Structure formats: structure tokens, C-alpha cells
Structure 1
């Protein structure tokens, strides 16, 4: 019995060695995720200067429109106000402009193509939280161009008719039967807008949607 186990062990070791030294080895699948980054160096001093305190105010309302379950917009759909959503404000520096153009040209989430903003650039931001009416305020702003972004989560609810079967009468006529059912789907909208403060002490109003 011991001899049999010993022989099996030898065979297993020899088999493993054969796999390592095989003539044909299946390569590992390459990672299909593509990541793009701006080539320009981020200027932290410029960003810090743009976010220094001023006397202008940015006031806005954040909302989205209810979409079809397949993702496209629905005409005359009601507004969904951004309740307790964080609005991020970033200064539009040359680095940011390159990032935004790169994202517009290259990013495709379905194809796993992403454009990243550096951690250093993201640190130079301001944040505001909306109220239940979707309103938000950024006080003490300086003249300049800024980018606003928020992620709005909501649940899409609706009804549809589900086919349940067919019936036939004595004359050969067919009747299809349907049952009304409800559905719900979680939606996440990335809402963005550029805003420009042209002079001190002005109040700039914006709709973030």
C-alpha cells in the first residue's frame, strides 16, 4: 500500500513538471481596462489662488429628469430634485481643461476606458450639500471659471404589461392575456455644469442638471 502511494506521488510530480515545460502554454488574458491621464503637470498654486476667498456667490438648483429604463431621456418627464446631494466645485485650470477634453474624447465606461483626474487636482475643490429642494450655495467666490458636478441617485418606478398566455374560443379566435406588474430600477446620474463668475460681488445662478 505504501509503495502504491509512493508511485502515485512520483507520477504527480512528473506530471506537474511536464505542464511547466510544455511546448504550448496558454497566455493569460490581458487586462482590457484602459486608463488615460492628462500629460500636463497640475499647477497647485494656480488652483489654490482660484479658490481663495472673494465676494461673489454661486447659487444653484440641482436636478435631473426621469429617464426610460433603457437609459434615454423621456420628453416632459418630471424633475427629480437632488436631495442631500454633494456638489463638487473644481477650478477650471489648464490641467482641468486637458482632463475634460480627454474624458470627452476617450472615456467609454462600457468599453472599460477611463480618464482619471489626479488626486492632487481633486484635493483643490469646494463642496456644498443640497437641501430637499435641490438648492445649494458656494459663497465667497472669486472671478473665474468653475466646474460643478454631482452624482444623483434615484429609483425609477413604473408599470408594464406582462404576457401570461393565450386562449382560443369556439370559432378559432385567439385572445392574448396580460397582467400588469410594477418594476423599480436604481438610476445614477452624473450631472455637470460649467459656471463663470465675471466680477466681484455678483450672484451667479446656475441650474445643475
Structure 2
């Protein structure tokens, strides 16, 4: 059975929209695309490459698939380890609107995303990574299918944009299992779900 890992770049206020460029995702009138780029450094790339090399497959939503498929097949794997990994690895695309997926080693999951991913986890082994794919990640969280979150927190606040954990997310306690930092000030935290939150009170007993 696969371990499902969600890896996401986030601002300090939880925005995950369009980290890599101004035109990556302008939906909702978002004007802050590319907010990650000034913080990219050798530390970041080393961690990204190490984690991606650990993947046995990638699970993508439609928008992220289209962004990746328009870029990575045109990058030589001889010079770029990320391109080499993405282009050669199995990729599973959760989408009801796409009819075909042309990128090498891609498989379309055209039914209900949660049901399809649940079956995918059962029939595959190793680490299955989700990158970006906000709507898909939210659905997987709601259905308790995420085994690990690798969250990159960048030192920037935007005040608007799509969030990984929007209003209405199922309450979940998380357990910190690893943390790293980069020279550019990015904090990279790895969490695993720890059941439902517990609650207490600091009120003085009467």
C-alpha cells in the first residue's frame, strides 16, 4: 500500500496559489504569482531533489498536471534531476474534465477523486507524492487519505489567494516529525495526521 504525501509551498498566511510565476494561476483575480521565486536557493533545490527522488509515483490534479506537462517534458533530464524524475516516473492525474493525458507514463483517474485515489493507494507501493494540486489535496484531506504533509513556509504574507486548508477543512491534529530550514529563511515542516484535535481550558477552577 502506498504512503500518500502532500508537498506544498505556502506563505505564512497559508496561501498556496501560483508560487512559481505571475501567470501560473490568476483565478480569483490573484496578482501575486511568483512569490516563491525570490526565496529559491541551493538549500531549497537540494531538499526538493532529495524528496522527489524518494517518490515512486506522482498524483496530480488537472491544473497542476497541465502546468507540469507544458514545461517538464521540454527540460532535459541529463541536466535537471527534477525533470529526469518527473518525466520517467508514473504519474496519476485526477480529473473528470480531461479526456486523455499525453505526458509519458501518465494515467488518467477519471472517476470520483477520493475513491480513485483510495484504490490507487491499495494497488501501489512506496511513496505517492502530491505536488501543488490544491483542490485535490483538499479533497484527499477531507477523506483522510493523506499520510504525511511536507509544508514549506515562506517568509511572506499575501492576504489573499487559495489556501491548502480553507474554511470548512475537517479538524485534524498533526504531529511534527521533522523540520528543516533554508538559508533564505524558509521553514520546512513534516507532519503526520494525529487524529482529531483535543481541547482544554486555562480557566481557573472554582
Q: What range describes the TM-score normalised by the shorter chain of this pair?
A: under 0.3
**Structure 2 length-normalised TM:** 0.20
**Which structure's relative contact order is higher, taking Cα pairs within 8 Å and 6+ residues apart?**
2
More strand by share: 1
More helix by share: 2
